[in-house]
């Protein structure tokens, strides 16, 4: 197979000339192709077979121990003008970045196969879908792209019709952290990634294309590419509302995306449309509609069990690629808090010894098709997407942020999004409990200057009077003894219910300087062991703490200098004034 699209065949020829592969393989995206790549990887030791009776068609990949996570310090946005990348990105001049990458890529695929992976982000043929081609020398990347995107012949045909696509060149190189860079050239719709085989660094459709490049395109084309899950919440009357929610890492995003309603919520159902990324467009009526550009999940494994996320737990019992988990005596995959089994071999393939740390890497992952999820919504494949009723921001805050509050209007909601912050957890290296600013949960993923990004968000209320309402949630508030005040997980549906009732104007609210709060009786506590006092604490606003917070937010916004939109500054001033 090859292509009739000259710019594509020329680019592949140019990449081959540079990287000197032994072979070129154009991916068709069939199940047979997937299976034969799996067989080759089993033969080469790149994949290990797991217990096929317990975990049919599940495999384990062990990555290089130095290559287990995204590398933000090696990730660059190479716009012509440094200011366009903004203080939120690492920047390198495009010419210097290209020279550096050309040196690294020179001859790097000798003796390897160069795979050409045409892929589609979003339902194939949807007006909201966008296309890309990843060139890679990693069969692990190819099989992950098969599960995570609509890849192969169908995507290629659409690319040939359109004549444009995002170019992504990737090589695992020597897997040397000293020779590793993830470069984005938003103005040229190009990505170059060298030296890592890991998830967000190497599956270029995900963070690199669907967030960094897409956020840049979205700004020029008038839409939003966001780090948000998408869910449908169906009530016993059969009405479904769609919500898009942004959370920094370690805030339970995948769990919320696959929420199972509590016992007392008979007749309620939560449908998953996406667990990580939402692309949102205004339709001709001014309704914001969302699609999930992805077709699969690349989720964190540790902590997944029947209680925390039964849907994910069931989803990953077949047709799953595990990366960096441990294995049991039965050759089953194992991870911390799985709730069953005992590890015998750790993620690096060593006999398990607690002295070496956790058995599964804390950032070990599952890759699986979204269609395997018991709560998968068929509308994830709808070309027109789903209408969004509410946008929800969240963070992990032991104090300060109430369980839920609502923005006063769109511009105030943009300020709330820009102020998102979360405490670091033990899951990442570094100090625990430090508050990090992560606007819209996009800090590592916005492909241009945050100041321009906020201006873009602010521009939407001039274009529509039917925009979603904006909310902020915090599942992690604690009492004076350090105990969580809210049980979280499935019980979070009680909060989503209030959010939906507000969107439908079915309940009133208390106005406070930071936004609208639920009245004391508005959060349903039936069958829940949360006292009225605990709920009052969960919903309380400490003015002094909020003044300190807003001062911090002000300093953070000021670090964007002149480019910061006046309107955002004015929103900030309004909240400060209300607190005074």
For residue 328, give Cα distances in angstroms to 75, 76, 324, 342. Answer: 36, 39, 13, 6
DSSP per-residue codes, 72-101: GGGEEE--SSHHHH-TTSEE--HHHHHHHH
Within 531-570, the residues that bind ligand OXD by CB under 6 A are none
Please give the structure tokens belonging to residue 374: 């018991």
* 3-class state of residue 17 by DSSP: helix
From the list Mn ion, ligand OXD, none, which binds 439 (C-beta under 5 to 8 Å, kind-based)? none
CB count in 10 Å sphere of residue 41: 20
Binding part of the chain for Mn ion, among 269-277, 313-321, 351-359, 477-485 by CB under 5 A, reads: 269-277
Distance CA 87, CA 83 (A): 8
Cβ burial 371-395 (10 Å sphere, 16+ → b, else e): ebbebbbebbbeeebbbbbbbbbbb
CB proximity list for 502: less than 8 A, separation 6 or greater: 390, 406, 469, 471, 509, 516
Q: What share of the chain is helix, strand, coil (3-state, %, to 5)?
A: 35, 25, 45
Within 189-218, the residues that bind ligand OXD by CB under 6 A are 200
Within 28-87, the residues that bind ligand OXD by CB under 6 A are 70
Q: Are strands 365-369 and 515-517 parallel, antiparallel or unpaired?
A: unpaired
From the list Mn ion, ligand OXD, none, which binds 152 (C-beta under 5 to 8 Å, kind-based)? none
Query: Is the separation of the CB atoms in 417 and 261 below 8 Å?
Result: no
Task: For the CB of residue 31, give the shortest distance to Mn ion in the complex, in Å.
Answer: 27
Distance CA 162, CA 134 (A): 17
Which residue is catalytic, options 78, 251, 446, 503? 251
Please give the structure tokens belonging to residue 445: 């993923």
Distance CA 503, CA 243 (A): 11
Distance CA 298, CA 370 (A): 10
Residue number, 118 or 200, with CB nearest to ligand OXD: 200
Q: List the alpha helices (DSSP H) in 260-376.
A: 310-315
Within 257-316, the residues that bind ligand OXD by CB under 6 A are 276
From the list ligand OXD, Mn ion, none, which binds 200 (C-beta under 5 to 8 Å, kind-based)? ligand OXD
Q: How far is CA 352 from the centre of its chain?
A: 31
Residue number, 445 or 448, with CB nearest to ligand OXD: 445
Cβ burial 180-195 (10 Å sphere, 16+ → b, else e): bbbbbbbeebbbbbbb
Task: For the CB of residue 278, give the shortest distance to ligand OXD in the complex, in Å.
Answer: 13
Judged by CB under 6 A, does residue 249 bind ligand OXD? yes
Residue number, 443 or 477, with CB nearest to Mn ion: 443
Task: For the CB of residue 246, give the shortest distance to ligand OXD in the complex, in Å.
Answer: 10
Residue number, 276 or 571, with CB nearest to Mn ion: 276
Binding part of the chain for Mn ion, among 182-190, 273-281, 289-297, 455-463 by CB under 5 A, reads: 273-281
For residue 13, give Cα distances in angstroms to 2, 17, 133, 137, 376. Answer: 11, 6, 14, 15, 40
Residue number, 138 or 249, with CB nearest to ligand OXD: 249
Q: Is 58 in the active site?
A: no
Task: For the CB of residue 247, give the shortest distance to Mn ion in the complex, in Å.
Answer: 9
Residue number, 134 or 276, with CB nearest to ligand OXD: 276
Judged by CB under 5 A, does residue 226 bind Mn ion? no
Judged by CB under 5 A, does residue 276 bind Mn ion? yes
Distance CA 406, CA 416 (A): 9
Residue number, 8 or 380, with CB nearest to Mn ion: 380
Residue number, 94 or 274, with CB nearest to Mn ion: 274
Query: Is the separation of the CB atoms in 325 and 362 below 8 Å?
Result: no
Question: Which segments of 479-528 are extended strands (E)?
Answer: 510-512, 515-517
Task: For the CB of residue 298, give the shortest distance to ligand OXD in the complex, in Å.
Answer: 6
Query: Is the separation of the CB atoms in 117 and 132 below 8 Å?
Result: no
Q: How many residues bind Mn ion (CB under 5 A)?
A: 1
Distance CA 316, CA 318 (A): 5
Q: How many residues bind ligand OXD (CB under 6 A)?
A: 4
Distance CA 466, CA 455 (A): 19
Residue number, 149 or 331, with CB nearest to Mn ion: 149
Please give the structure tokens belonging to residue 41: 């990887």
Task: For the CB of residue 70, give the shortest distance to ligand OXD in the complex, in Å.
Answer: 6
Residue number, 29 or 199, with CB nearest to Mn ion: 199
Q: In the complex, which residues of this chain contact ligand OXD (CB under 6 A)?
A: 70, 200, 249, 276
Residues with catalytic roles: 251
Q: In the complex, which residues of this chain contact Mn ion (CB under 5 A)?
A: 276
């Amino acid at each position: 197979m090859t292509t009739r699209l000259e710019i594509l065949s020329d680019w592949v020829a140019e990449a081959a000339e540079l990287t000197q592969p032994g072979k070129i393989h154009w991916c068709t995206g069939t199940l047979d192709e997937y299976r034969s790549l799996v067989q080759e990887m089993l033969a080469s030791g790149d994949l290990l077979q797991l217990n096929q009776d317990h975990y049919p068609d599940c495999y384990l990949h062990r990555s290089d121990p130095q290559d287990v996570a995204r590398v933000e310090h090696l990730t660059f946005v190479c716009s012509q003008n440094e200011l366009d990348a903004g203080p939120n990105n690492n920047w390198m001049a495009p010419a210097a970045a290209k020279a550096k990458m050309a040196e690294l890529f020179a001859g790097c695929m000798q003796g390897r196969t160069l795979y050409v992976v045409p892929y589609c982000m979003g339902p194939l043929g949807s007006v909201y879908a966008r296309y890309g081609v990843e060139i890679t020398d990693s069969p692990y990347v190819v099989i992950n792209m098969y599960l995570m995107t609509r890849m192969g012949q169908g995507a290629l045909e659409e690319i040939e019709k359109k004549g444009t696509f995002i170019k992504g060149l990737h090589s695992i190189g020597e897997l040397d952290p000293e020779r590793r860079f993830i470069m984005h050239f938003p103005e040229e719709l190009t990505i170059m990634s060298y030296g890592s085989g890991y998830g967000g660094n190497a599956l270029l459709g995900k963070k690199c294309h669907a967030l960094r490049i897409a956020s840049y395109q979205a700004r020029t084309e008038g839409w939003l590419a966001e780090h948000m899950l998408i869910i449908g919440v169906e009530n016993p009357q059969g009405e479904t509302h769609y919500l898009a929610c942004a959370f920094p890492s370690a805030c339970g995003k995948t769990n919320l995306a696959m929420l199972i309603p509590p016992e007392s919520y008979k007749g309620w159902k939560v449908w998953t449309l996406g667990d990580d990324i939402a692309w949102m467009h205004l339709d001709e009526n001014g309704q914001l509609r969302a699609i999930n550009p992805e077709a699969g999940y690349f989720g964190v494994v540790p902590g997944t069990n029947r209680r925390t996320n039964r849907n994910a737990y069931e989803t990953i019992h077949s047709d799953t690629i595990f990366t960096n988990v441990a294995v049991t005596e039965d050759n089953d995959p194992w991870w911390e808090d799985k709730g069953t089994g005992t590890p015998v071999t750790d993620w690096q393939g060593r006999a398990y010894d607690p002295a070496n740390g956790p058995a599964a890497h804390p950032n070990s992952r599952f890759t699986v098709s979204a269609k395997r999820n018991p709560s998968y919504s068929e509308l994830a494949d709808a070309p027109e997407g789903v209408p969004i009723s509410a946008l929800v921001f969240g963070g992990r805050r032991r104090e300060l942020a109430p369980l839920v509050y609502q923005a006063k209007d769109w511009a105030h909601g943009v300020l709330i999004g820009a102020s998102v912050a979360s405490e670091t957890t033990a899951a990442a290296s570094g100090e625990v409990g430090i508050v990090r600013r992560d606007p819209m949960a996009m800090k590592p993923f916005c492909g241009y200057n945050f100041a321009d990004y906020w201006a873009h968000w602010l521009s939407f209320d001039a274009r529509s009077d039917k925009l979603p309402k904006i909310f902020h949630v915090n599942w992690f508030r604690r009492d004076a003894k350090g105990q969580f005040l809210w049980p979280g997980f499935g019980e979070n549906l009680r909060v989503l219910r209030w959010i939906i009732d507000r969107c439908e104007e079915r309940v009133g609210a208390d106005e406070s300087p930071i936004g609208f709060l639920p009245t004391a009786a508005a959060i349903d506590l039936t069958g829940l062991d949360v006292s009225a006092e605990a709920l009052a604490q969960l919903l309380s606003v400490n003015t002094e703490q909020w003044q300190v917070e807003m001062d911090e937010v002000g300093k953070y916004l000021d670090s964007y200098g002149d480019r910061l939109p006046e309107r955002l500054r004015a929103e900030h001033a309004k909240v400060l004034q209300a607190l005074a």
